[in-house]
Structure 1
Amino acid sequence: MNDAFLKQNPDLSIITGDLIWSDGVPQSDIIFKELLERFNKYVVPVAKTYETHDSEDEFSRGAIRVLEKYLKNAVT
């Protein structure tokens, strides 16, 4: 991911679904926050969409949206 950002110098980054898979994954919210922190290293807007696995097991779409507060450059 670091290499891609440095080589491509993007104007926008888009995460296209299946951001978090909580079914059977302990502390998946912590792993999700770590992913968002990787995006926070760069001053690049980040758009995101949700797919089927994002709201499995312990997380609802609303719960994931609460976790989005950790993403500094989120755009809608």
Structure 2
Amino acid sequence: MMKASEIKELTDKEIQERIQLEKETLARLNMNHAVSPLDNPMKIKEARKNIARLQTIKRQRELNQNQN
């Protein structure tokens, strides 16, 4: 699980890449879970939360740039 403090250290480009990577991971987990139950279904929830954290930090940066 990524912490917000870890995400804030990333550049905008790295955040965008991580969002794409997490979305791909989430899609793969959902597909695997549909075929046969995962050992740890909480990984799906964790992936969704990571995406949300990344998008939140990205949006905060966009708003800060617009204010300046």
Q: TM-score, normalised by structure 1?
A: 0.33
TM-score norm. by structure 2 comes to 0.36
User: Greater strand share, 1 or 2?
Assistant: 1
Higher relative contact order (CA 8 A, sep 6+): 2
- Choose between structure 1 and 2: higher helix proportion: 2
Larger Rg: 2
